[in-house]
C-alpha cells in the first residue's frame, strides 16, 4: 500500500455521514453481476445501497450523493417496473424509507439540501427526488442528458421520468477544462471541485453507465507531525463487490491471511483458508494473476472495458492508507461503520477501512477450501 499515491490538491474539510438508505435486495444471481463468478458464491444477499450527506465546512452547503431506491416503487419509470417483474426480483427488493425521511428524522430538513448528486440513473440510486423541494437541484455526469433525456413519458424507454426534473434544475457536470472551470485531474480521473473549496470533488468514472460519477471528500486535515489528510471515496457502482477491486498490483492479498481479516462462514466449520489458497484460487480461474481481482464486472455495466479501466484507476486510492473507499453495495460494512446521523470523518481512527477491507473473502472461502481439499487428496 505504501507505493500507491494520488495527487489530491490541498483544501478544506467537509462533514460527511454515511446514510443507510434502508434498501436491501437479496436473491440476485452473481452471474448477473459478474462476468466470471466464483463457484459457490451463487447468490448475493442483504445488499445495501449506501448514500452520503456531505456538508461544506466553509459555506454550510449540503449535498446528498445518491438516494438509494424510492419507498414508493410506483415512482419508477415503466422500464424498471418491467425489469423487476420479468426478473422475479421485485419481492426481493425491500425499501423502508426514502432518504429524505431518514434525513428529516434526524434533524436535517430536505429543504436544507441544495444538491442531489446521482452517481448514475439505475433504480437503486435515483430514489424519488420529489421527496425534496424544487429548490434542490439534480446533478448528473457528463453525457447523461444526451443518453437518457427526455425522460418518460416523452421517451417511453427512458429509465428516468420527466416528473423528477419538472420545475427543478438538472445540472450536468462538464469535465472539460476551461478558463473559469473548477475542473482538474485527480489520479486517473477527471475531477470537479464541487463546493469550490477543495473539500468535495466529483470524479468522472464511466463504464458502468454513461456519465457515472464518484465523489471524494476530505474528512480530516493531517496533524502537524506530517500526517496525511484523510478522504472518503464514494464509489457508487464503480464496482459491486470487493472481489472486483481486490487484490491489485497496489494491494496484494495479506500474507499471512488470518481469520482476523475476514469472517469465516459457519458452513466451513472453522476452516480458514490462507493467502496461498486464495491466491491459488484466483490463479486457477482463467489464468488470472494473483494480484488481479477475483471477478470482472458483468451485464449491469454498459461498457465493460471502460468499467474495468475505471476499476483499475480506483485501485490506487483503494490501496492508500488515508482513503476509505465505500462503494454503494458493500455488504461488508454492515456492523463496521456508523451511519447518519453519526459523522464518518473519524473513519481512520476507528479502523473502519482495515476492518472491512478483506471481509469479502468470506464469499469465496468455500471455493478456496475446496481447492485445498483437492490439493490434499
Assign 354 a pLDDT band (cuts: 50, 70, 90).
Answer: very high
DSSP 8-state symbol, 341 = T
For residue 2, the model assigns a pLDDT of 46
For residue 8, the model assigns a pLDDT of 93
The 10 Å CB-count burial string (b at 16+, else e) for 35-62 is: eebbebbeebeebbbbbbbbbbbeeebb
Please state whether the peptide bond connecting residue 150 to the residue before it is cis, i.e. omega within 30 degrees of 0: yes
Res. 256: pLDDT tops 90? no
Average pLDDT, the chain: 90
Per-residue pLDDT tens over the stretch 174-212: 998 876 678 899 999 999 999 999 999 999 999 999 999
Res. 214: pLDDT tops 60? yes
Half-sphere exposure of 272 (CA within 13 A, CB side): 11
For residue 376, the model assigns a pLDDT of 33
Mean pLDDT within 325-343: 96
Distance of CA 155 to the CA centre of its chain: 28
As a whole number of angstroms, the distance between CA 161 and CA 166 comes to 9
Choose the weakest-confidence range: 45-49, 230-234, 264-268, 296-300. 264-268
Cβ neighbours of residue 217 closer than 8 Å, sequence gap 6 or more: 14, 16, 52, 54, 199, 200, 201, 231, 232, 234
> Residue 32 is placed in which grid cell?
448477473
Tell me the helices (H) and strands (E) count for the chain, helix number first: 8, 16
For residue 1, the model assigns a pLDDT of 47
From residue 327, how far is each of 25, 52, 89, 141, 195 by CA, in Å? 15, 11, 22, 17, 22
Cβ neighbours of residue 131 closer than 8 Å, sequence gap 6 or more: 70, 98, 99, 100, 101, 110
Residues 345 and 16: beta-carbon distance below 8 Å:
yes
Assign 127 a pLDDT band (cuts: 50, 70, 90).
Answer: very high
For residue 87, the model assigns a pLDDT of 81
Res. 22: pLDDT tops 60? yes
Mean pLDDT within 207-223: 93
As a whole number of angstroms, the distance between CA 82 and CA 78 comes to 6
For residue 97, the model assigns a pLDDT of 96
For residue 334, the model assigns a pLDDT of 93
> Residue 273 is placed in which grid cell?
483458508
Percent of the chain with pLDDT over 90: 67
Assign 287 a pLDDT band (cuts: 50, 70, 90).
Answer: low
Enumerate the domain spans of the chain: 14-376
Mean pLDDT within 345-357: 95
Residue 218 exposed, middle or buried by CB count within 10 Å (0-12, 13-18, 19+): buried
Domain 14-376: homologous superfamily in CATH: Ribonuclease Z/Hydroxyacylglutathione hydrolase-like (3.60.15.10)
For residue 264, the model assigns a pLDDT of 56
For residue 371, the model assigns a pLDDT of 82
For residue 345, the model assigns a pLDDT of 97
Assign 268 a pLDDT band (cuts: 50, 70, 90).
Answer: low
As a whole number of angstroms, the distance between CA 210 and CA 179 comes to 25
Residues 123 and 90: beta-carbon distance below 8 Å:
no
Cβ of 239: how many Cβ atoms within 10 Å? 31
Amino acid at each position: 500500500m505504501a507505493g500507491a499515491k494520488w495527487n489530491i490538491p490541498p483544501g478544506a474539510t467537509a462533514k460527511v455521514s454515511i446514510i443507510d438508505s434502508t434498501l436491501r435486495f437479496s436473491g440476485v444471481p452473481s452471474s448477473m453481476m459478474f462476468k466470471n463468478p466464483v463457484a459457490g458464491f451463487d447468490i448475493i444477499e442483504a445488499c445495501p445501497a449506501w448514500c452520503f450527506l456531505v456538508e461544506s465546512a466553509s459555506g454550510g452547503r449540503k449535498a446528498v450523493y445518491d438516494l438509494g431506491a424510492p419507498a414508493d416503487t410506483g415512482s419508477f419509470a415503466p422500464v424498471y417496473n418491467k425489469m423487476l417483474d420479468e426478473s422475479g426480483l421485485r419481492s426481493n427488493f425491500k425499501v423502508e424509507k426514502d432518504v429524505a425521511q431518514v434525513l428529516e428524522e434526524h434533524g436535517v430538513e430536505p429543504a436544507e439540501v441544495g444538491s442531489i448528486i446521482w452517481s448514475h440513473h439505475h433504480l437503486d440510486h435515483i430514489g424519488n427526488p420529489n421527496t425534496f423541494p424544487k429548490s434542490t437541484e439534480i446533478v448528473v455526469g457528463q453525457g447523461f442528458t444526451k443518453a437518457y433525456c427526455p425522460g418518460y413519458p416523452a421517451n417511453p424507454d427512458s429509465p428516468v421520468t420527466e416528473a423528477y426534473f419538472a420545475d427543478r434544475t438538472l445540472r450536468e457536470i462538464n469535465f472539460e477544462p476551461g478558463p473559469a472551470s473548477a475542473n482538474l485531474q485527480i489520479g486517473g480521473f477527471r475531477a470537479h471541485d464541487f463546493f469550490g473549496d477543495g473539500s468535495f470533488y466529483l470524479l468522472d468514472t464511466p463504464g458502468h453507465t454513461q456519465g457515472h460519477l464518484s465523489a471524494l471528500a476530505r474528512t480530516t486535515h493531517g496533524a502537524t507531525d506530517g500526517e496525511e489528510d484523510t478522504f472518503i471515496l464514494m464509489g457508487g457502482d464503480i464496482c459491486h463487490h470487493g472481489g472486483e477491486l481486490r487484490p491489485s498490483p497496489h494491494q496484494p492479498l495479506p500474507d499471512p491471511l488470518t481469520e482476523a481479516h475476514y469472517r469465516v462462514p459457519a458452513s466451513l466449520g472453522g476452516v480458514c483458508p490462507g493467502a496461498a489458497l486464495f491466491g491459488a484460487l484466483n490463479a486457477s480461474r482463467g489464468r488470472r494473476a494473483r494480484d488481479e481481482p477475483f471477478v470482472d464486472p458483468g451485464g449491469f455495466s454498459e461498457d465493460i472495458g471502460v468499467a474495468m479501466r475505471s476499476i483499475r484507476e480506483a485501485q490506487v486510492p483503494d490501496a492508500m492508507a488515508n482513503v476509505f473507499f465505500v462503494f454503494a453495495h458493500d455488504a461488508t460494512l454492515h456492523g463496521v461503520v456508523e451511519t447518519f446521523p453519526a459523522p464518518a470523518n473519524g473513519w481512520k481512527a476507528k479502523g473502519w477501512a482495515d476492518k472491512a477491507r478483506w471481509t469479502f473473502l468470506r464469499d469465496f472461502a468455500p471455493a478456496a477450501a475446496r481447492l485445498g481439499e483437492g490439493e490434499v487428496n
